[in-house]
């Protein structure tokens, strides 16, 4: 018995089903079994002792039993105790003569299929124990046939029993099925992965010959972050329309997306928090199928190689229990498939020349059926033909159906990729994000640690690279791309990193041009004469390509050129170098279709620079080349045709800066003077402002621009561009007078304000903040080495009523002068005792982030979190405490105490959010939050709802808890929080919309308006939403509900033809001030062009019974109709005659608002002075009297 078991290899096929059946068969000698097996193929040949037919039959039945066992265990997921009852059933089944006959047919040479249907029917006719529903006879019998053909090929004794003709047939058949049978050697496969992917391939980037053999990929790999793409890829629709049309015509783009819908997609995409890509990869339960999208050089392939290496570097004992990584480069796979080397992915690994190691396809098939693999398809975009790309997607789809237990990752560039087909097969799509500041620093640290032995050299070059990234916005952007960051690190190793960006880009482009081996391609094409095309020729061609791109309709925003235009440019240049320039150009372009160099193919017959930085650099260089080398343009033409034409176009900002950095300083100085005097938009009406600039030496021409300018145009782009251009000049002492003029202008902008009235939450306030802060930043950056700058920043941070400027000065103190002895003292003083809450908050945040080790920092944060009079300061202190002192053992307890005992709902909410965000992995956090859900305090429950939904979305209890609260909680505020949490985090749950619709009809007004808001914000596409909201806006019993719904209607459905009439109707007929107020606000913000809007607002401002409506109307008139000459009189009457009586300190007085509106643009109007005197003496509101007195003092 033992003899037969050993011969059949039963020790290698131990299993609860296989072993007992084969033991019984071995006892019987398998003689009768073998006769029935071979009755058709060897019916006249007698069996002898230990006949090869008995050997083959035993091996064959072992294969069959193993496949049945796999089906029950893997596909049907039966445990051993449920498989054992099938032992006798299967034994009866294989003893049936018709079954043995079918199984034996697998040894016939001409057999290419077996009858699975008969096997299935036989099982049923024998009335055996029913098999599970997903038991697959076809899968078993197809694999069994292939395995038996291998047995036949390997058995010389069995083949000797057949005639020579059959032997030839067998050999041919088995070779076609299996080829040369490879082993399934995982140790060898590990070595192949390490040899292929183990080292960073840097030889093509580093032309110095330095060997990077010891620089292992797995030691340098930086795991990036990703954002999930739920609907469409917003980045695609930012391409020029012509390119989109080409992509659509070539079936590389899905249906056109409406602009409004695209904006929602973009907002949804960018509002998502980024997540580490390895978290997605490791989340096998939720992300079984994943597509990773990214730009060229963004790290897609490196990610897959790292995953393979991670497995390959593991000990072989651990590998057995880990999924086997199967990395398939789809470009290689398609070439091999077209050459008929393989027909599917398994054959590719079995025998293809493109596979890094051959793995036996039958053993691999077993592993795939068991789900013991991570299959990675790299470079879907590199299958350039759209039809073939669709074929690959079909192959991937078929593969996931055949092996449903296997995890799959696909990578692709964005352009030309269509999400829908793989999304339909449950693939989740993620976009790789650029490396962030922390990841860039991690790369720099690792690079220098692994590449340098000399400590001094390591530190010097590390600081040099860090400085380049920190001090340049564009270099920092470049460093976000892993490939380009690696290039910068290589440059930094071999030479002093260029101090100016143009030279850095020059050196980086040389590396990429070295990769573009044009000469070799020309030599390989026998039609062409081999000629030397050096990097200078390539640079010249690329300058012309970039120049052509900026001249087209889309300009620099597109970074695209058609194949025909590219061919024309290359051909024209090559005419003076090669005999067949057009053919040579086509050879060069063909290189770009198969591999990325400095240019890359992006689909639909378009090409682009691999990173837009190189487009900008070569474009700038071409202008400088024409100015300095060719002398084809003058300095005046540079000013008028380049700078004056493009200074307001943000996409040209970098090009203009690069030009400034490449030119000699005196020419850049002329350009800066020109920019400062072009469309200067300061708004200064007082003689004092004019004198200020005249004393600073500013030209009278500039002053002319400072008077009577419409502030809607006012952006100060030219002043800040001039500052950026000055920053490109290495030594601007050469243009000292220009620099001085610019400094005085920037100092003026630190005090800038708009000449008309606005509130702190208006967009005007944000604009003023941006202008002031930017001015401070430019002064601190450009004049950092000036001895006066530090004292100016200290004074600006500590003195004055301009909080925007003070906060900016605080930030620049830390950024530029952190090590100054006074800096930390100033921060402590501002954080603890400054009168301005915004300044206290900014100082406290910088103290927490930059001086964590200072012994005073933690006590200051705790004190501010508990007792500061400003809620925003308290909440900010909690955030900084939780995020910067997470490891302090007292922090967690401190947050929990605030949650349970603080009197403010908002501070408790912040404490809950920070607890969930920063201590999510603490095992007690979720339990603590669940306990709070049962609290009697509705405010506490509210704080927990969003934290559970946002940070514990995947916990199985979260959604049921939220649904229960939505349906049963007796606190309307809690139900309102749940509505928003469900919509934001569980929008696709089938119950969510129904719950929200139900709550929208609740008797509680707070629940109704929260549900209505949620319907408007998240379910605009539901056909019932808009009609429902229109009805609520006009018919709901509660005025607050009507007013809230009005606001949401105009936010989300402004273009619906009924919206404006609804607003007009409610503005003039609703009897509640709240609704009229919302109508007035909506008309002013969204329908100011309608002729009735001005009339309605005037009527509200002067005669509405409610003070809040009057106040809102006056503010709307001042904001949107300030150029209307009739409004001065209206504001004057409001300031004199409005009937407001102050009952609360915080009440909004229309008279005070009207007075503020008048005083800014009309301080010297003769009626203004009389009005101020009158209000200072006679107004019944003390606040108005005090304001009038202050303004009179200023005027005097």
Q: What is the per-residue pLDDT across 816-831, written as a single tens digit (0 to 9) for each?
A: 999 899 999 999 999 9
**Residue 546 and residue 552: Cα distance in Å, rounded?**
10
Q: Which of 223-237, 547-561, 762-776, 779-793 has the highest mean pLDDT?
A: 779-793
Token pair belonging to 286: 């939720």
User: C-alpha distances in angstroms, 1004 versus 319, 975, 983, 1049?
Assistant: 60, 10, 19, 21
Q: Does residue 639 carry a pLDDT above 60?
A: yes
Q: Does residue 253 carry a pLDDT above 60?
A: no
CB atoms within 10 A of CB 818: 12
pLDDT at 239: 45
Q: Does residue 677 carry a pLDDT above 50?
A: yes
Note whether 1002 and 1038 are within 8 A (CB).
Answer: no
Of all residues in the chain, the percent with pLDDT exceeding 90 is 38
pLDDT bin (cut points 50, 70, 90) of residue 383 is confident
**Residue 956 and residue 329: Cα distance in Å, rounded?**
38
Lowest average pLDDT, out of 336-345, 674-683, 1170-1179, goes to 674-683
Higher local confidence (pLDDT), 1178 or 938:
1178
Higher local confidence (pLDDT), 48 or 297:
297
- Is the pTM value of this prediction over 0.85? no
**How many Å is the maximal CA-CA distance in the chain?**
130
Q: Does residue 714 carry a pLDDT above 80?
A: no
Note whether 572 and 561 are within 8 A (CB).
Answer: no
Higher local confidence (pLDDT), 364 or 109:
364
DSSP letter for 228, please. Answer: E
pLDDT bin (cut points 50, 70, 90) of residue 265 is low
Main-chain phi, psi angles of 603, to 5 degrees = 95, 160
Higher local confidence (pLDDT), 144 or 372:
372
Paired residues of 601 in beta bridges: 607
Higher local confidence (pLDDT), 108 or 46:
108
Q: For 849-869, what is the mean pLDDT?
A: 95
Q: Which letter, b or e, does each residue of 964-996 get, where b requires 16 or more Cβ atoms within 10 Å of its Cβ?
A: ebbeebebbbbbbbbbbbbbbbbeeeeebbebb
- Angle between helical axes of 1059-1069 and 1091-1103 (0-180°, round to 10): 20
Higher local confidence (pLDDT), 295 or 1073:
1073
pLDDT at 587: 84
pLDDT at 942: 86
Q: CATH assignment of 223-433?
A: 3.40.50.300
Of all residues in the chain, the percent with pLDDT exceeding 70 is 82
Q: For 946-968, what is the mean pLDDT?
A: 90
Note whether 977 and 948 are within 8 A (CB).
Answer: no
Higher local confidence (pLDDT), 418 or 160:
418
Q: Does residue 728 carry a pLDDT above 70?
A: yes
3-state secondary structure of 9: coil
Residues 137-149 have pLDDT tens digits of: 888 888 888 888 7
Counting Cβ atoms within 10 Å, is residue 717 exposed (0-12), middle (13-18) or buried (19+)?
A: middle
CA dihedral 815, 821, 826, 828 (to 10 degrees): 100
Residue partners of 265: CB distance under 8 A and separation at least 6: 230, 231, 232, 234, 257
Q: Does residue 619 carry a pLDDT above 90?
A: yes
pLDDT bin (cut points 50, 70, 90) of residue 1067 is very high
Sheet holding 289-293, edge to edge: 275-276, 225-229, 428-432, 289-293, 407-412, 373-378, 324-329
**Residue 1001 and residue 1007: Cα distance in Å, rounded?**
8
Q: Does residue 267 carry a pLDDT above 90?
A: no
Q: For 774-796, what is the mean pLDDT?
A: 93
Q: For 684-707, what is the mean pLDDT?
A: 43
- Strands 407-412 and 324-329, by their bridges, are unpaired
Residues 882-918 have pLDDT tens digits of: 999 999 999 999 999 999 888 888 899 899 999 998 9
Residues 492-516 have pLDDT tens digits of: 877 666 666 788 788 878 777 766 6
Q: Long-range contacts made by residues 759-762, C-beta under 8 angstroms, separation at least 24?
A: 759/1115, 762/1119
Residue ranges of the chain that CATH labels 3.40.50.300: 223-433
Q: Does residue 703 carry a pLDDT above 50?
A: no
Sheet holding 606-609, edge to edge: 561-562, 606-609, 599-603
pLDDT at 234: 47
pLDDT at 643: 92
- Mean of all residue pLDDT scores within the chain: 82
pLDDT at 157: 66
pLDDT at 43: 45
pLDDT at 852: 92
pLDDT bin (cut points 50, 70, 90) of residue 1111 is very high
pLDDT at 1006: 87
Q: Does residue 722 carry a pLDDT above 90?
A: yes
Higher local confidence (pLDDT), 526 or 37:
37
Lowest average pLDDT, out of 196-210, 268-282, 337-351, 679-693, goes to 679-693
pLDDT at 100: 85
Q: For 798-808, what is the mean pLDDT?
A: 89
Residues 418-465 have pLDDT tens digits of: 767 787 778 999 999 989 989 999 999 998 888 888 888 889 888 888
**Residue 74 and residue 139: Cα distance in Å, rounded?**
13
Q: For 255-272, what is the mean pLDDT?
A: 55
Residue with tokens 């054959």: 347
């Amino acid at each position: 018995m033992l003899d037969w078991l050993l011969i059949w290899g039963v020790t290698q096929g131990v299993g609860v089903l296989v072993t007992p059946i084969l033991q019984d068969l071995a006892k019987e000698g398998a003689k009768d079994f073998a006769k029935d097996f071979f009755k058709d193929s060897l019916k006249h040949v007698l069996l002898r002792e230990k006949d090869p037919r008995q050997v083959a039959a035993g091996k064959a039945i072992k294969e069959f039993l193993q496949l049945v066992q796999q089906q029950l265990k893997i596909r049907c997921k039966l445990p051993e105790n449920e498989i054992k009852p099938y032992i006798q059933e299967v034994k009866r089944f294989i003893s049936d003569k018709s079954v043995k006959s079918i199984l034996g047919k697998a040894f016939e040479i001409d057999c290419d299929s077996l009858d699975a249907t008969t096997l299935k029917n036989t099982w049923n006719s024998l009335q055996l124990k029913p098999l599970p529903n997903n038991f697959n006879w076809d899968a078993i019998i197809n694999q069994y046939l292939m395995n038996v053909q291998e047995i036949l090929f390997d058995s010389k004794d069995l083949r000797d029993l057949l005639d020579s003709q059959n032997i030839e047939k067998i050999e041919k058949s088995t070779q076609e099925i299996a080829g040369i049978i490879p082993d399934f050697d995982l140790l060898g496969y590990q070595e192949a992965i390490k040899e292929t992917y183990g080292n960073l391939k840097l030889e093509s980037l580093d032309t110095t010959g330095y060997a990077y053999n010891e620089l292992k990929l797995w030691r340098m790999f930086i795991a990036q972050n990703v954002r999930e793409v739920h609907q469409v890829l917003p980045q695609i629709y930012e391409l020029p329309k012509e390119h989109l049309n080409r992509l659509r015509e070539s079936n590389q783009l899905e249906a056109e997306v409406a602009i409004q819908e695209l904006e929602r997609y973009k907002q949804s995409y960018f509002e998502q928090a980024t997540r580490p890509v390895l978290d997605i990869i490791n989340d096998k339960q939720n992300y079984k199928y994943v597509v990773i999208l990214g730009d060229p050089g963004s790290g897609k392939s490196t990610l897959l190689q790292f995953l393979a290496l991670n497995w390959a570097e593991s000990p072989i004992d651990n590998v057995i229990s880990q999924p086997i990584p199967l990395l398939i480069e789809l470009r290689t796979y398609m070439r091999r498939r077209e050459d008929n080397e393989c027909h599917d992915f398994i054959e590719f690994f079995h025998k293809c020349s493109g596979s890094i190691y051959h793995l036996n396809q039958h053993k691999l098939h077993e592993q795939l059926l068991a789900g013991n693999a991570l299959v990675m398809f790299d470079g879907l975009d590199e299958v350039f033909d759209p039809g073939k790309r669709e074929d690959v997607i079909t192959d991937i789809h078929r593969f996931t159906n055949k092996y449903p237990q296997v995890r799959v990752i696909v990578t692709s560039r964005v352009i030309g990729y269509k999400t829908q087909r793989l999304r339909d097969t449950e693939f989740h799509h993620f976009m790789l994000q650029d490396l962030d500041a922390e990841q860039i620093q991690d790369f720099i640290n690792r690079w220098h640690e692994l590449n340098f032995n000399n400590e001094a050299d390591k530190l010097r070059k590390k600081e040099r690279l860090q400085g380049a990234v920190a001090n340049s916005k564009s270099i920092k952007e470049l460093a976000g791309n892993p490939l380009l960051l690696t290039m910068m690190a290589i440059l930094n190793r071999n030479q002093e990193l260029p101090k100016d960006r143009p030279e850095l880009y020059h050196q980086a482009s040389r590396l990429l041009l070295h990769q573009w081996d044009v000469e070799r391609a020309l030599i390989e094409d026998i039609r062409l004469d081999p000629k030397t095309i050096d990097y200078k020729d390539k640079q010249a061609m690329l300058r012309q390509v970039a120049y052509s791109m900026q001249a087209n309709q889309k300009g620099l925003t597109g970074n695209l050129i058609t194949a025909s235009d590219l061919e024309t440019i290359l051909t024209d240049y090559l005419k003076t170098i090669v005999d067949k320039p057009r053919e040579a150009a086509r050879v060069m372009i063909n290189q770009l279709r198969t591999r990325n160099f400095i240019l890359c193919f992006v689909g639909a017959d378009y090409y682009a620079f691999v990173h837009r930085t190189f487009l900008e650099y070569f474009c700038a260089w071409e202008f400088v080349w024409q100015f300095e080398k060719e002398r084809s343009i003058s300095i005046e033409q540079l000013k008028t045709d380049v700078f004056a034409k493009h200074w307001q176009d943000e996409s040209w900002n970098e090009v203009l800066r690069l030009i400034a950095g490449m030119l000699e300083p005196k020419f850049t100085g002329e350009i800066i003077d020109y920019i400062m005097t072009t469309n200067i938009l300061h708004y200064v009406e007082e003689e004092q402002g004019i004198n200020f600039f005249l004393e600073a030496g500013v030209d009278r021409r500039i002053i002319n621009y400072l008077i009577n300018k419409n502030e809607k145009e006012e952006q100060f782009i030219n002043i800040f561009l001039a500052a950026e251009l000055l920053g490109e000049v290495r030594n601007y002492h050469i243009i000292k007078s220009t620099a001085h003029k610019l400094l005085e202008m920037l100092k003026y902008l630190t005090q800038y304000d708009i000449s008309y009235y606005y509130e702190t939450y208006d967009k005007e306030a944000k604009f003023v903040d941006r202008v002031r802060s930017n001015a401070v930043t430019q002064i601190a950056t450009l004049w950092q080495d000036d001895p006066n700058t530090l004292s100016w920043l200290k004074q600006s941070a500590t003195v004055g009523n301009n909080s925007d400027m003070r906060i900016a000065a605080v930030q620049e103190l830390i950024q530029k002068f952190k090590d100054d002895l006074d800096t930390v003292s100033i921060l402590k003083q501002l954080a603890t005792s400054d009168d301005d809450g915004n300044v206290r908050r900014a100082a406290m945040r910088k103290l927490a982030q930059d001086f964590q080790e200072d012994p005073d920092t933690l006590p200051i944060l705790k004190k501010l979190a508990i007792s500061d009079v400003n809620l925003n300061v308290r909440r900010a202190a909690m955030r900084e405490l939780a995020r910067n002192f997470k490891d302090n053992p007292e922090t967690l307890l401190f947050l929990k105490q605030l949650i349970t005992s603080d009197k403010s709902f908002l501070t408790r909410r912040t404490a809950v959010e920070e607890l969930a965000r920063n201590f999510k992995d603490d095992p007690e956090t979720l339990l603590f939050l669940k306990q709070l859900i049962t609290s009697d305090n509705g405010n506490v429950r509210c704080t927990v709802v969003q934290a559970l939904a946002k940070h514990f979305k995947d916990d199985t209890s979260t959604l049921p808890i939220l649904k229960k609260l939505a349906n049963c909680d007796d606190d309307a505020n809690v139900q309102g929080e749940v509505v928003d949490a469900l919509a934001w985090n569980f929008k696709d749950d089938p119950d969510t919309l129904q719950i929200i619709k139900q709550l929208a009809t609740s008797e509680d007004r707070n629940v109704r308006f929260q549900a209505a808001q949620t319907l408007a914000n998240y379910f605009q596409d539901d056909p019932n939403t808009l009609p429902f909201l229109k009805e609520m806006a006009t018919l709901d019993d509660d005025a607050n509900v009507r007013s809230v719904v009005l606001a949401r209607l105009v936010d989300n459905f402004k273009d619906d033809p009924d919206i404006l009439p609804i607003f007009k109707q409610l503005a003039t007929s609703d009897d509640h001030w709240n609704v009229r107020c919302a109508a007035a606000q909506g008309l002013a913000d969204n329908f100011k062009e309608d002729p009735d809007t001005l009339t309605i607002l005037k009527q509200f401002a002067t005669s509405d019974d409610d003070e809040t409506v009057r106040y809102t109307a006056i503010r709307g008139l001042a904001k949107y109709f300030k150029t209307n000459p009739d409004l001065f009189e209206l504001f004057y009457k409001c300031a004199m005659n409005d009937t407001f009586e102050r009952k609360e300190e915080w009440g909004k007085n229309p008279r005070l608002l009207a007075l503020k509106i008048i005083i800014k643009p009309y301080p010297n109007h003769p009626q203004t002075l009389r009005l101020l005197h009158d209000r200072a003496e006679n107004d019944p509101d003390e606040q108005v009297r005090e304001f009038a007195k202050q303004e009179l003092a200023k005027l005097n």
